[in-house]
Amino acid sequence: MVGIVIVSHSEKLAESIVDLTRMMADGANIVAAGGLEDGSFGTSYDRIKEAIEKVYSAEGVIILMDMGSAVMTTEMVLEEFDAGSKIRMVDAPIVESAVAASVSALCGNSIEDIIAEIEETKNAAKF
Amino acid sequence: MTDQKKVVDILLGMGRVMEENKEFLTDLDNTIGDGDHGINMARGFAEVEKQAEGLAGKDIGNILKTTGMTLVSKVGGSSGPLYGTAFMKAGMTIGAKTEIGMDDFLGGLEAGIEGVKARGKSTTGEKTMLDSMVPALEAMKEKQAAGADVKAVLEAGVAAAEAGVEATKPMVATKGRASYLGERSVGHQDPGATSFAFLLKEICNAY
């Protein structure tokens, strides 16, 4: 199953997004990488790296981020992995895309198909 | 010429300056950002200080690369990947040297600035650290080309960096957290540009 990592400045926000996905996709391979080691807001290189390693498989990993350093720190973590590793950062609304990705991953879809579904959340109007 | 020990001493000095200005930088960042710049920079350089003993035996490229990695791992905000990338790129460009001169320094800084631009997908005029980095580099290159001594080159860089910080005040932020404020960011100096001016001044004070 494709793995999913939620990167946020907030530990609670990242964990809550993971919890929220369980409503529809309990059993998806999704983990949180939020906040700093001391519990404060920020993005932790080590937490992101550990989270990716935890859900990594040959099927790949999708990373969803909030903003700023979450994106830049994730980029730097990815530079440490082999160029052949199937790890993709996707730019999309973090809550909606986490739900869409976890449902799709649990259904056994490929990373390419899941990313295509996530991309659709960018254009989905709420009303 | 500057040897490994001096580079480590300067890094330790940078840590002291970040600690001393922690509140000031955080206050600046409270106004237009997320209020963590001073705390983050001080935390990052405190980690660099912890590694200082191990750094001293390495070549200068390695010292800078290790410093960059530490900042990326420990800072926690955008200044981590940005300054971290700058130090790592500078280290890669300077390479396995045990002594460096002004040309090496300027080459390293230029590579660092290119790294910041690429990492932040940013350029000058967007109210970021680049607005003090780029004018400082240009001023120093000019002085160096005119044959000035090390101190005069660095002083020209500090003056240009500080003028660059002032120049961020009327700018509208279009990158980073301050961009959420848009027009409301006008009138305030950029914290990242300010921290770079402090770091460069610390280098200058070492000569």
Tens of pLDDT along chain A (127 residues) come to: 999 999 999 999 999 999 999 999 999 999 999 999 999 999 999 999 999 999 999 999 999 999 999 999 999 999 999 888 999 999 999 999 999 999 999 999 999 999 999 998 888 888 9
- For residue B190, report the phi and psi dihedrals to the nearest 5 degrees: -80, 130
User: Which stretches of B121-204 are assigned E, i.e. beta strand?
Assistant: none
> Which residues of B sit within 8 Å Cβ distance of A?
34, 36, 40, 72-73, 75-78, 80-82, 84-85, 119-120, 176-177
**Number of compact structural domains in chain B:** 1
Token pair belonging to A57: 């498989």
* Range of the structural domain that residue B60 is part of: 2-205
Name the catalytic one among A9, A47, A49, A86. Answer: A9
Per the CB < 8 A criterion, the answer to whether B32 and B178 are in contact is: yes
pLDDT tens track for B141-159: 999 999 999 999 999 999 9
| A99: Cβ contacts below 8 Å, ≥ 6 apart | A20, A21, A24, A25
Distance from C-alpha of A92 to C-alpha of A30, rounded to nearest angstrom: 16
Distance from C-alpha of B163 to C-alpha of B200, rounded to nearest angstrom: 13
Which of A41, A45, A68 is closest, CB to CB, to B73?
A45
Annotated catalytic, A40? no
State the angle between helix axes of B60-74 and B4-20 in degrees (0 to 180), rounded to the nearest 10.
30
| B68: Cβ contacts below 8 Å, ≥ 6 apart | B83, B84, B85, B86, B87, B88, B89, B90, B91
| A93: Cβ contacts below 8 Å, ≥ 6 apart | A121, A122
pLDDT tens track for B28-77: 999 999 999 999 999 999 999 999 989 988 999 999 999 999 999 999 99
For residue B117, the chain A residues in CB contact (below 8 A) are none
In a domain, A22, yes or no: yes
Mutate which of B78, B87, B88 to test chain A, going by most A C-beta atoms within 10 A? B78
Strand A87-90, strand B99-100: pairing: unpaired
In a domain, A44, yes or no: yes
Per the CB < 8 A criterion, the answer to whether B204 and B109 are in contact is: no
CB contact under 8 A, B77 and A45: no
**Number of compact structural domains in chain A:** 1
Q: How large is the ipTM?
A: 0.88
In a domain, A55, yes or no: yes
For residue A69, the chain B residues in CB contact (below 8 A) are 76-78, 80-81
For residue A46, the chain B residues in CB contact (below 8 A) are 73
CB contact under 8 A, B81 and A40: no
pLDDT tens track for B176-188: 889 999 899 999 9
3-class secondary structure, A88: strand
Q: How many residues does chain B have?
A: 207
Strand A3-8, strand A61-65: pairing: parallel
Which of B40, B73, B120 is closest, CB to CB, to A46?
B73
Domain containing residue B121: CATH number:
1.25.40.340
Per the CB < 8 A criterion, the answer to whether A63 and A84 are in contact is: no
CB contact under 8 A, B73 and A42: no
* Range of the structural domain that residue A48 is part of: 3-121
Domain containing residue A23: CATH number:
3.40.50.510
